[in-house]
Each structure stands twice: as C-alpha cells, then as structure tokens.
C-alpha cells in the first residue's frame, strides 16, 4: 500500500502535469467544416474559438437562417472536437495511476 507521502508526491506531480497539458492545449487547434466547406471553424484545445471563415457562396441575404445553421453546426462541431482532444490528452495523465482501494478520480 502506498504511503501518504508517496500519494502526495503523486498528486503534486499530476497537478503540475495537468497544468502543463492545459497550457499545451491552448496552443493546439482542431478544425471543423460545415456545409461542404462553406463554413470553417477552428477551435483551440482550451475550448476557445480561434477563427471562423465563411465562404461567400454561403452568404445569401434571402436565406440568413441557412448561414446561421451552418455557423452553429461549425462552432458546435469544432468545440466538440476540441473537447475530445482535451479529454484524450488529460486522460493520458491518469493512465496507470495506482490508487489505493476506495480512492477514485
């Protein structure tokens, strides 16, 4: 059974690693397109948007609702992809972590 001191050192290392990964995620991006590429959204791993590009062909003053739908689809898709990337990176931190019985994260 691990000692309390060993568990504390493990927790401190995990905290430092988590902070490092979060800083790295802020610099990683994912891209999502909607409407066959009419809307391209880039999101960062920290859950913020980096850019939105709209092709001129998607801009129709008589059909603003279509553009709104494309933007929503692009933004939601990019944020979902960024969240999955973040979760995958953070789960690497807990892989192989030995916790005593009764402990969980």
Domain range summary for the chain, segments of one domain joined by +: 4-94
Is 74 within 8 Å of 34 (Cβ atoms)?
yes
**For the segment 2-21, what is each residue's pLDDT rounded down to a tens digit?**
678 887 887 888 888 888 88
Domain 4-94 part of CATH 3.30.1310.10 = yes
Say what the pTM is: 0.77
Q: Which residues of 29-57 are buried (b: 16+ CB within 10 A; e: fewer)?
A: bbbbbbbeebbbbbbbbeeeeeeeebeee
* Token code pair at residue 3: 């000692």
State pLDDT tens for residues 49-100. 999 999 999 999 999 999 999 999 999 999 999 999 998 988 887 776 665 6
| CB neighbourhood size of 21 (10 A) | 16
């Amino acid at each position: 059974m691990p000692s309390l001191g060993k568990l504390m050192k493990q927790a401190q290392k995990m905290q430092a690693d988590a902070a490092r990964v979060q800083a790295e995620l802020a610099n990683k991006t994912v891209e999502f397109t909607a409407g066959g590429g009419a809307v391209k959204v880039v999101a960062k791993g920290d859950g913020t948007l980096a850019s939105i590009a709209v092709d001129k062909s998607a801009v129709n003053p008589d059909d603003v609702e279509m553009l709104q739908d494309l933007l929503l689809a692009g933004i939601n898709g990019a944020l979902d992809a960024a969240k999955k990337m973040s979760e995958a990176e953070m789960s690497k931190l807990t892989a192989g972590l030995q916790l005593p019985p009764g402990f969980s994260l």
